[in-house]
Amino acid sequence: MTPTYYLLLSALLFTIGAVGVLVRRNAIVVFMCVELMLNAVNLTLVTFARINGTLDGQIMAFFVMVVAAAEVVVGLAIIMSIFKTRRSASVDDANLLKY
Amino acid sequence: MNPAAELLVDDPIWLILIKVVVIFAIPIVITILMIWAERRIIGRMQQRPGPNRAGPFGILQSLADALKLAFKEDIRPSMADKWVYFLAPILAAIPALLAMAVIPLGGEVTIFGERTVLQVAEVPAGVLVVLACASIGVYGILLAGWSSGSPYPLLGALRSAAQVISYEIAMGLAIVSVVFYAGSLSTSQIVEAQMQQGWFALLLAPAFLIYLVSMIGETNRAPFDLPEAESELVGGFHTEYSSLKFAMFFLAEYVNMVTVSALATTMFLGGWAAPWPLSQIGDGVLNTGWWPLLWFALKLGACLFLFIWVRAALPRFRYDQFMHLGWKVLVPAALGFFVVVAVIRVLRESEGVSPTHIMIVLAVLLVIVVAISFLFPDRAAPQDEGPPVSGSGYPLPPLDLKVPDVPVRRSVSATSEQKPAGIAGGTRRGATRSVGKADDSASSAPASSPKEGGDGTV
Amino acid sequence: MLTSVSVLAQSESVESYSIDWWAISPLLVVFLAAFVSVLLEAFLPRSRRWAAQVGLSIGTLLIAAFAMILYINEDLRVGLGLSEEVPVDPAFADATHQVAPVTTFNGALAVDDPTLFLWGTLLALALPSFLMIADRSVEPGGAFVAQAALRPGSTQDRAQTTVPGMQTEVFPLALFALGGMMAFLASNDLLTMFVALEVLSLPLYLMCGLARRRRLISQEAAVKYFLLGAFASAFFLYGIALLYGFAGSVQLSAIAQATAGTDRSETLLFAGLGLLVVGLLFKASVGPFHSWTPDVYQGAPTPVTAFMAACTKVAAFGAILRVFSVAFEASSWEWEGVLWAVAIASMVIGAVLGLTQTDIKRMVAYSSVAHAGFLLVGAIALTDDGLAGTMFYLLAYGFTTVAVFGVITLVRDSDGEATHLSKWAGLAKRSPLVAAVFSFLLLALAGIPLTSGFMGKLAVFSAAVADGMAPLVVVALIASAVAAFFYVRVIVLMYFSEPAADGPTVSVPGAFTTAAITLGVVVTLLLGVLPTLALDWAGIGGFIS
Amino acid sequence: MSGPMVLLALLILPLVGALVVAFLRRNERTAKLTALAFSLVELVLAVLAWTAFDPSGPRLQLTSSVDWIPAFGVHFSLGVDGIALVMIALIAVLVPIVIGASWEDRLPEGRTAAGYFSLLLVMQSLMVGVFAATDVLLFYVFFEAVLVPMYFIIGRFGGPRRQYAAVKFFLYSLLGGLIMLASVIGVYVVSTEELGQGTFDWETLAATISDAPLSTQIWLFLGFFIAFAIKAPLVPLHTWLPDAGAEAPVGAGVLLVGVLDKIGTFGFLRYCLPLFPLASQELAPLILVLAVAGVLYGSLLAVGQSDMKRFVAYTSVAHFGFIALGIFAFSTQAQSGAVLYMVNHGISTGMLFLVVGMVIARGGSRLIQDYGGLAKLTPVLAGLFLVAGLSSLALPGTNSFVSEFLVLIGSFPREPVFTVLAAIGMILAALYVLWVYQRVMQGPLRGDALTGLAGGPGAAIDPNSESLLTKLKSKVPDLSAREIGVLAPLVVLIVVLGFYPAPVLEVITPSVEATMTEVGLSDPVTGAESTVGPATGGPEATGQEGD
Amino acid sequence: MLESYLPLVLLFALAALFALFSVTAAPYIGPRRYNRAKLDAYECGIEPSPQPVVGGGRVPVKFYLTGMLFILFDVEVVFLYPYAVAHEALGVFGLFAVGTFLIAVTIAFVYEWRLGGLDWD
């Protein structure tokens, strides 16, 4: 099982996440897609750490986890606050700001 | 790579399979015994016989209950989310059963001429595996409540999820100091460490106490069994479940008890090692061969007995008290204890080097901060200015419910009015819990569906 | 994991960390203050928080600046007996460097001349921004909501537009953001850069949602900013991962060496570089990655907008400069073309879409996109002049834009700021002074001589031309001519057209906002007439790798 | 007062004046008087500068320089050659006249004369700066900065369509300026490559850039040229001038047409030719085409105009054609003529503008057909109108004649075709000037403006009825003492320069010859003295002008 | 390294089979006498509340708050484990670093506490 497969998998996950962000409309779902992207990156990092035989990748994965957690907290807070006011978390409903 | 792992890697596949099956069976058997034991013991504590019909001492009672449960009607409420509702019990059961795998039940033995250790899997991060399983179990609970499509389960699920994760923090922090002393995350290494340094239960007594409390909270057991708080939430997250689906949750709950007890044994009570005076006999002959299994079983039993004992002894907490305990007592205490341990330990290792004072200042600072936070009243800063903030905006059930004292003269009629509700509550408790929480009366009640619980009378 | 960490412990000589405390003292001061202000939030009664927080924030800026001066000026430090005499590194004994550039925290942070300059810029820009954030005179109780938890539109919410209190959490948030920015542009490896990026972003996300008026728009801005920002940082992160795979390390210098060598996979390099740059450009609100800018600028409370517009740009471009010139100089000829396109796109988008705006904050937002394009022109000229020019431009632009938003806070009508352009008609009649100040600032943005804007453009463009990017510069100049149109349009509105009957009132600013605007205007003028000082400082030295 | 100080004073004084006046907005009268006083002092200073200037001296005199932005080698350096000197003098002369002329302008409501005059003074200072700067970047700074006050003057004090005009003017000039900025930077970069250390100093650059390769020169040249061509409206970049000129208040209009546009032609002489000799020779034909086109097109449109202010604007488009022709014909006479033309055009067209303004002030309409037979009512005005008109059609004996003659004579040997074509412009000039005069001043009283004043409907009036005359005489007064006093100096100048241009020429010629040598061409006609005697300051000036 | 996880995989398979079997089997071995009342959501006998809880159901903010707190502290713990394992190697510096980290977390915790984030009304 060569590490390349892990890279491919993570790339795939990342793409799925990215596409999800672009096509999904529910803020929470979009947000989860972002998290998916972050975790895909984690996979990449760890794989590269294995390939390069260094540990930085794994350490970085830790940091990414922290950051992801912090992002979850902030993001949920914001999304909840807007959800509270307008019963829907759909990005389309957030349309007060227009060009 | 520690010796246990070395021995384990060259296990032949048949041995692995045997071990797997055994380790799968053990918790289930223990569960069945545990239920019976629990009912008996509590019965005794409450001056009543407890189940004593089925088999000698009614030892087959819970087996019978289990069988009966299998033949109950399986209901999926119309508002439920089909697949999640179906998946939740599985999600709850699997991790529970998985966790035991990393617990070392004993030292090195020879099975059919194959040298190995009484442990299914030795992974570098064994402790984390247990914790991971515990947290994955939360998904089962949460999804069960959510998918039931009914308010009580949802609220119950939220509560139990909240409580599990809250106590997981404290538990994790308690474990950290153990890991700090053992210098390893592998369960067998921790046992080894205890054989050198002595039981961590004594060495790290505060951590042990914190662990015990959070262990009970983690498994939603009395006095922390708020999710199933009958009087408030009916059956909690599995209100809508019945039959084998319900059995899965039930099993998961008890297996979790077994697991956390086993973890407690492993991490604080010296694992499979013989207790102190015995360990000296014949320079540790009792730590070899199949003996350890016995010690392990004893210690495990002790932990499980604690569960029962506490349940019988203590009244249920109020939810806010419970959270208060978890977040404002256990977590800070565990954190502070870890800091103290760390500072002392490192100080001891690095013989009084220059930055010592830095660390002391640091620790002091931390302690001060924590202390300050204790000094201040636990209420939020008074909302003197600014408009009043309503709560979460969700109709929480009043937590400090005071039953209005009824006028003396019409008391009879009053009680008669209140009775149906009371009975409904009581028997419904029996209904879902007919597999035998405390009251025997309900054990005979048809435990099929919640709806029938109402008229399942004594 | 167990094995990994213990191996790490043995592999790296952990004990051999030596931290140059003086070098990072400004950073430490800011972060320390952030923590302290969190504690203030926790322990002070609501009534006393505002004063304490303001004092703390402003004081922090001053102390941090002083710490930096102490670091730069060793003699002073020794003179004050704060540190003993240290032998001057002969390599940097010459006058060109104020202090020897150092990397500390095991090479995680690089404190060199650009870092110092940009730190100074950040602190200087943070001062007016904080003053505006703290101001409670223009909007009674400050521009921030009293209880962010209240649901907009609810009775309590309507009640709270009048109550004096404000959500003082803004101050710790702002301090954290500032610290993140400082760390961001100083970070010498990509991991630190990423963490710093988040540290500066997350507080900003929250601050965007705290407006006292028009809370729906504000919250919406916060959500958009957050979602897009998280998206961008994910890209940034994936870029880091790929570069790590390419170079086997995230140290910028290591990446530079790797790019110099040819034996590695180009795909990883360019994929990684691309994703990384996307993340960076997003933060700098450049070109096609600007989509969040107008919404967020419009929705966020104006002081926060000022803070973002000025400081975030500084931080982002500081990082861009560092990454390009330290890590990817060797491969510059491969990506420069793309960045040309990006710069052009940015300038065109900013200038053209700016024409169509009817909301003044959106207009400024688009102008900031255009300016980001100009900055990028300087940034891709990987010469010392380019570096100096870009940094000077950042300084100049920052002060101007802060002052612009400061003026915007003043023009109000019954429901908060009157940001619609039509409301600004004939402002000169209502208050000639504000109109004059604002048109001066607009002219500065347009780059008319004798304003800092012109000097910035001159510095950047001359560097670009010297680096053989004449066509790009011509495009830039035409773009700025187009952009000038909408600045001029506002001036026309204010001066030449008759005021509307129900026009906005120009509220008299309190000391804070006045100070902020004055500072901005004075600096804009000063840098326009006597840019020498700043230019020389910016030109002292380059990055260390 | 030492030379450099004079220039600095010329630069600073109006600014101070502007500040003072701006603060005096409370009471109009003192404000106006202060403004006038300051402008007169400025005039005195200009005279001082003139006397301090030695025609036989080095090319740039009264120089002074301090470091401004060492990082870019920018100096705040001032200095004048003959051309710049006469332009500054022209400014100094015109501004007080303009102030006097707009003494009683009817400004749009809510605008104060104080604001107007202070802006005028600011503009004066900046224009002085433009001509006095010897550092390219400094020049550019003034060049751009002078837009701002003019923009505000047009936009705030102008006619009905002032917004449109102001924005158009601003954007045209700004675009040109930015293109020029590209070239300025380019020049800087080239100098960096040539000298190692970049500089903006004009003399150094003139020495450096002129040997740059042709292609480089052409690009840089175009940058400058476009900017200047917009300023000195060459067809087809002239379209902003009629609007701006028509909408601007009369006084500002005078400065706009009389001085501001000269910046363009001045730029040709000062920057395009010396810095990029090769390019300018290369592109000369093209420019000449534009110039001649300008002459004819301007004249024709002037003939067709119905709006008097636009009419004046178009005449100056034509005149600028002549100037450009003179400059790019590359002969000493032609260029001296061109420079002289710049001065004269400032004077005559300025006067024409003022007179037209006075007519409009009386009739309240800018349209030609609204007037007629005005001479009957206001003989003096009519007379002065005629003088101004004749001067601008270059009647022998008026100042313009000398310059136009010089231009044509000088450019004929090199560019016969263009010269002849341009000569047609002279005839057209006679046509449009006289025709307008005839329509407005001569003939029976008619035109809505007047009859409107008279109160009766236009057709029903008997042209020769004494009643109408008497009625109108009260309504349409002849020139007041102030107006005559304003116009008098201009008339004097027209006549004096018409017969005795020598003093100006002898200041101009050396610089022009220097320019020629920098371009590296010699006069086709040998001996500059063949036409104009006084122009023989030349050889030694050229001798000293070793570059 | 990875093969030491093999038993875990096997056990997982076993457990999954068991759970899956019993859950799927349940409907078939039990009786099936459904009626509307049974299939309703159980609310102590009263009519089920009209708005379906699944999906659009709103839950008290406190639970979100707890969830966020959990995430933060779990991450904290995650950082403590590696340190706990490797503290000998990391020595004083490690302690110092972890101390800084803990102080940061504690400050946040105190803030949360003081603002009543940990109170259940």
The pLDDT value recorded for residue D74 is 87
A76: nearest CB among E68, E79, E82? E68
- pLDDT category at A80 given cuts 50, 70, 90 is confident
> To probe the interface with C, which of A6, A79, A96 has the most C CB atoms within 10 Å?
A96
Distance CA C98, CA C299 (A): 42
Residues in B 145-204 with any Cβ partner in E closer than 8 A: 146-152, 154-155, 158, 161-162, 165-166, 168-169, 172-173, 176-177, 179-180, 183-185
Task: Report chain E residues whose CB lies below 8 A from the CB of A77.
Answer: 64, 68
Helix (H, G, I), strand (E, B) or coil at B317: coil
Q: Which residue of A has its CA nearest to C198?
A: A67
Residue D528 has pLDDT above 80, yes or no: no
CB C504 within 8 A of CB C357: no
Residue whose structure tokens are 């101050």: C171
Asked whether the beta carbons of D404 and D295 are under 8 A apart, the reply is no
pTM for this prediction: 0.85
- Quick one: tokens of C382? 């990987």
Q: Which residues of C touch A40 (CB under 8 A)?
A: 238
Q: How confident is the model at residue C306 (pLDDT cuts 50, 70, 90)?
A: very high
Asked if A14's CB is within 8 angstroms of C238's CB, the reply is yes
Residue of D nearest to C471 (CA): D182
Please name which of D48, D141, D105 lies closest in space to residue D250, comparing C-alpha atoms: D105
A22/B373: higher pLDDT: A22
Express each pLDDT in A26-37 by its tens digit. Answer: 888 898 999 999
Residue-wise pLDDT for C328-340, tens only, equals 888 888 888 899 9
More confident residue, D203 or C62: C62
| Lowest model confidence (mean pLDDT) among B49-58, C500-509, D397-406 | C500-509
pLDDT at D544: 39
Among B128, B376, B387, beta carbon nearest to C159: B387
Residue-range domain boundaries for chain B? 74-377, 406-458
CATH of the domain at E77: 1.20.58.1610
Q: Domain A3-91 adopts which CATH fold?
A: Helix Hairpins (1.10.287)
Confidence label for C445 from pLDDT (cuts 50, 70 and 90): very high
* Nearest Cα residue to C465 out of D181, B280, E27, D70: D181
Residues in chain D within 8 Å Cβ distance of C462: 72, 185, 188-189, 198
Indicate the residue of B381, B385, B389 with minimum beta-carbon distance to C149. Answer: B389
Residue C131 confidence (pLDDT): 93
Distance (Å) from the C-alpha of residue A61 to the closest C-alpha of chain E?
Answer: 12
Over residues B236-255, mean pLDDT: 84
Distance, in Å, from the CA atom of B201 to the CA atom of B216, rounded to the nearest integer, reads 17
**Binary contact (E71, A80; C-beta < 8 A):** no
Chain E residues whose CB is inside 8 A of the B8 CB are 4, 7
Chains touching D (at least 3 CB pairs under 8 A) are C
Span D131-155, mean pLDDT? 91
Q: What is the pLDDT of residues D276-298, one digit of tens each?
A: 888 888 899 999 999 999 999 99
pLDDT for C343-361, tens place per residue?
Answer: 999 999 999 999 988 899 9
Is residue E93 included in any domain, yes or no? Answer: yes
User: Across all residues in chain D, what is the average pLDDT?
Assistant: 85
Partners of C109 in the β-ladder: C104, C187
Nearest to A85 among C152, C240, C242 (CB): C152
> Which burial class, exposed, middle or buried, applies to B113 when counting CB atoms under 10 A from its CB (0-12, 13-18, 19+)?
exposed
Find the CB nearest E72 among A69, A77, A80. Answer: A69
- Out of E71, E74, E79, name the one closest to residue A62 (CB): E79
Task: Count Cβ atoms below 10 Å from residue B54 Cβ, excluding itself.
Answer: 15
Q: Kindly list the residues from chain C whose CB atom is less than 8 angstroms away from the CB atom of residue D171.
A: 481, 484-485, 488
CA distance D221 to chain C (A): 14
**Contact criterion met (CB < 8 Å) for C8 and E86:** yes
Least Cα separation, residue E33 to chain B (angstroms): 8
Which residue type sits at B342?
Answer: A
Residue E120 counted as domain residue: no
Angle of helix B126-147 versus helix B151-182 axis, rounded to 10: 170
**What is the Cα–Cα distance from B322 to B312, expressed in whole angstroms?**
18
- Give the span between the Cα atoms of C9 and C1, in whole angstroms: 12
A contact chains, 3+ CB pairs < 8 A: C, E
Report the neighbours of E using a cutoff of 3 or more CB pairs below 8 angstroms: A, B, C
Q: Check residue B353 and give its pLDDT.
A: 53
Sequence-distant (6+) residues with CB within 8 A of B292 are B105, B106, B107, B118, B271, B272, B273, B274
Shortest distance, CA C13 to any CA of chain D (angstroms): 45
Q: Does C149 sit within 8 Å of B384, measured CB to CB?
A: no
Question: For chain C, percent helix, then strand, then coil, each to nearest 5?
Answer: 70, 5, 25
Average pLDDT over residues C471-496: 89
Bigger pLDDT: D10 vs C92: D10
Confidence band of B318 (pLDDT split at 50, 70, 90): confident
Distance CA D158, CA D153 (A): 7
Number of domains in chain E: 1
Chain B residues in contact with C3 by the CB 8 A cut-off are: 124
> Given a cut of 80, is residue C161 above it in pLDDT?
no
Show the 3-state SS of D363-402.
Answer: HCCCEHHHCCCHHHHCHHHHHHHHHHHHHHCCCECEHHHH
Q: Provide the pLDDT confidence category of residue B434 given band limits of 50, 70 and 90.
A: very low
Is there contact between E and B if contact means ≥3 C-beta pairs under 8 Å?
Answer: yes
Return left, alpha or beta for B406; rule: phi > 0 is left, psi -120 to 50 is alpha, else beta: beta
Rounded to an integer, the average pLDDT of D358-372 is 84
Residue of E nearest to C31 (CA): E104
Nearest CA in chain E to B390: E121
- Tokens 């009672």 correspond to what residue? B61
Closest residue in C to A20 (Cα) is C231
Which site among C390, C440, C462, C473 would you substitute to test the D interface, given the most D Cβ atoms closer than 10 Å to its Cβ?
C462
C256 pLDDT higher than 70 = yes
**Furthest-apart CA atoms within chain C: distance in Å:** 76
A56 and A49 Cβ atoms separated by less than 8 Å: yes
D165 and D247 Cβ atoms separated by less than 8 Å: yes
In what helix (H) or strand (E) does residue C168 lie, and over which residues does it extend?
A: none
Distance from CA of A1 to the nearest CA of C (A): 18
C134-173 as b/e: b if 16+ CB within 10 A: bbbebbebbbbbbbbbbbbeeebbeebbebebbbbbbbbb
What does the alpha-carbon distance between residue B377 and residue C45 come to, in Å, rounded to a whole number? Answer: 13
Say whether residue C43 is in contact with chain E using an 8 A CB cutoff.
yes
Q: Which residue of C has its CA nearest to D188?
A: C462
Domain that holds residue E94: 2-114
Residue E25 lies in a domain: yes
pLDDT level of residue D377 (50, 70, 90 thresholds): confident
pLDDT at C537: 83
Can you read off the two tokens belonging to residue C23?
A: 């070098």
Instruction: Please report whether residue E121 resides in a domain.
Output: no
Res C86: pLDDT: 60
Q: Do E113 and C42 touch (CB under 8 A)?
A: yes
- Quick check: C94 pLDDT over 60? no
Instruction: Classify the C-alpha dihedral C5-C10-C11-C17 as positive or negative.
Output: positive
Looking at per-residue pLDDT, the higher value among D26 and C251 belongs to C251
**Closest CB to E75 among A69, A76, A80:** A69
Contact residues, chain C, for E77 at CB < 8 Å: none
pLDDT of B442 reads: 39
Looking at B61-70, B193-202, C97-106, D170-179, which range is the least confident one? C97-106
E75/A65 Cβ within 8 A: yes
| Mean pLDDT across C280-292 | 90
Inside any domain, residue E71: yes
What is the reported pLDDT for B144?
86
Q: What is the mean pLDDT of residues C30-40?
A: 92
- Whose structure tokens read 């001056």? B47
Q: Do the Cβ atoms of E89 and C9 come within 8 Å? A: yes
